[in-house]
Amino acid sequence: MSGNLAVELAPELRDRVREIIADVLEVDPEEIREEHSFAEDFEADSLLVIEMFSRFERQLRLEIPQEELVDLDDLATAYALIARHVTAPSGV
């Protein structure tokens, strides 16, 4: 059961991450599950993963080291990646 790191993210942030990924993959957010591989299940190539990474940084206002890009292949990993780099909650 992956996703134990996702607990650190607020539900709204998890939804936002899923929406960003879905937009890049051109699928509905509900189609993406934590166990799905972006590459295998959605045929995402490295350019799409770079686009996800870029949108995380821009839309979520994060700075993520590029070496972490190679690990980004599923929703659970995306949640964990964002959780490591979120500096402050932005609940308004």
The strand pairing partners of 37, in sequence order, are: 74
Coil, helix or strand for 13? helix
Question: Is-catalytic flag, 45?
Answer: yes
Residue of 23, 45, 71, 73 marked active site: 45
Amino acid identity at 38: F
Give the count of beta carbons closer than 10 Å to the beta carbon of residue 89.
10
Catalytic residue numbers? 45
